[in-house]
Chain A
Amino acid sequence: MTKPTKINFSGMSALVADANAAFLTIIAGMLYEFGVSNITRATTGEQALHQFSVQQIDFAFLDCFLPGINGFDICQRVRATPGPNQMVPILILTSHAQRDNVVRARDVGASMVMIKPISGSMLFDRLAWAAENARDFIMCANYNGPDRRYKNESFSGIGRRETDKGKGGEQRGSSMSQAEIDKLSTSFS
């Protein structure tokens, strides 16, 4: 897999959903600096889900612990709803990189999982990866989402190296590194 050297964000619409207004300010500000034209913020699951029904979204960041309808459930509903937003890249944000969360995100059709805290480089890196890797979309009785039988062999971005662990705060116990998450969230077990 490769990543484009440049991404053109102009004309894109992004949805960012997180209960933390300060976090939304930061992520929306970074995306604006990247050139994203239209950034919609949501602080609850209901608001986020509503946005999927009223406008075309080009990509979305959803916190998994949104109040109301959580990010996992929103992702699952969007993936199951035919329309212009069904296949858009959805990146699930989490503070807790345990295997359960990553597997759940993968199984509800998330395109990627990203550990908080974020950085500008992480944000761009994930979007660049998503831009270059339009995985086939699978629709079946118990799963709608990007093809999980996808071998992530050569991802070399932020979080790949062992020394990158800890960028999202301390990684302890059963938490996974971003590299382990990338591997798990793009492969079917």
Chain B
Amino acid sequence: MSDAPKAQKKSGATRFHRLAKREGGITLDEAIRRADEFVSTVKPKYLDWVAEDVRSLATALAALSGHAPASPKDLDTAFHGARKIRDLGTTMGYPVITIVASSLCDLLERFKGGNVYSQPAIDTHMSSLLLVSSSAYDDLQQTVKDDLLPGLRRVVDRFPPTETPRES
């Protein structure tokens, strides 16, 4: 017979479950309304945040420029910068920012996976990011989505995907 301790199972109900089911509270519709109101109060600051993030990303990418092969550490730094931009765009009502940043993340991952670093591919993405994160071109979001994104996709597809660990 094995001496290994047997698995134990107990109820997973916690304070959270008890508190959540009390009288009162908030419905999904009310929650969405309040969340949207909150986002609208923060939205005016968002493009300033993105502008700062894009500047930081540009600095991180500058460290990669002219170095072959690209340093994994620098690629990671750039990747996290792009990811930071990606994570908020859709939430803040700028899905195109998320999609362009996501494309850049994808591209950087392909470089991390062994593809040769390409400055033109990076520049194309950074120019796109500057375009979609500029309030001056707010009215062009749909045009950008329709026309620019397929082009970025084709740029990324020039570098074969690789299975690399995404955590760093």
Interface of A with B (CB < 8 Å)? 4-12, 19-20, 22-23, 25-26, 29-30, 32-35, 56, 58-59, 64-65, 70, 84, 87-89, 95-96, 98, 100-101, 116-121, 123-125, 127-128, 130-131, 134-141, 146-147, 167-170, 172-174
Cα distance, A140 to B7, chains bound together (Å): 4
Cα distance, A9 to B99, chains bound together (Å): 33
Instruction: Give every chain B residue within 8 A of A20 (Cβ-Cβ).
Output: 84, 87-88
- Interface stretch, picked from B13-21, B114-122, B124-132, is B13-21
- Interface stretch, picked from B32-40, B59-67, B135-143, is B32-40
- Point out the residue from A22, A89, A98, A125 that lies within 8 Å of B16, measured CB to CB: A89
Q: Given that A121-B31, A125-B28 are known contacts, is A169 also in contact with B102, CB under 8 Å in the complex?
A: yes
Q: Could you show 24 A-B contacts with beta carbons less than 8 Å apart? A: A9-B20, A10-B25, A12-B16, A12-B19, A12-B20, A20-B84, A23-B88, A26-B92, A30-B34, A32-B38, A34-B26, A59-B16, A65-B80, A87-B12, A117-B86, A117-B87, A120-B35, A123-B35, A139-B9, A140-B5, A140-B6, A140-B7, A146-B12, A169-B99
Cα distance, A90 to B114, chains bound together (Å): 35
B44 contacts chain A at the CB level, 8 A cutoff = no
Closest to A8 in B: B25
Cα distance, A35 to B22, chains bound together (Å): 13
Minimum CB–CB distance for B97 against chain A, Å: 10
Q: Which 4 A-B pairs have the closest CB atoms?
A: A120-B35, A8-B25, A140-B7, A131-B20
Residue of B5, B14, B102 contacting most chain A CB atoms (<10 Å): B14
A119 near B12 (CB under 8 angstroms)? Answer: no
Instruction: Give every chain B residue within 8 A of A70 (Cβ-Cβ).
Output: 167
The interface bits of chain B over 33-65 (1 if a CB of A lies within 8 angstroms of the residue's CB, else 0) are: 011111100100000010000000000000000
- Point out the residue from A8, A34, A134, A174 that lies within 8 Å of B23, measured CB to CB: A8
- Point out the residue from B19, B21, B166 that lies within 8 Å of A96, measured CB to CB: B166
Cα distance, A32 to B31, chains bound together (Å): 10
Supply 9 further A-B pairs (C-beta < 8 A) apart from A9-B25, A65-B80. A8-B25, A30-B39, A35-B25, A64-B167, A88-B15, A89-B16, A116-B86, A141-B7, A174-B163
Instruction: Give every chain B residue within 8 A of A128 (Cβ-Cβ).
Output: 28
B133 contacts chain A at the CB level, 8 A cutoff = no
For window 54-105 of B, CB contacts with A under 8 Å fall at 80, 83-84, 86-92, 95, 98-99, 101-103, 105
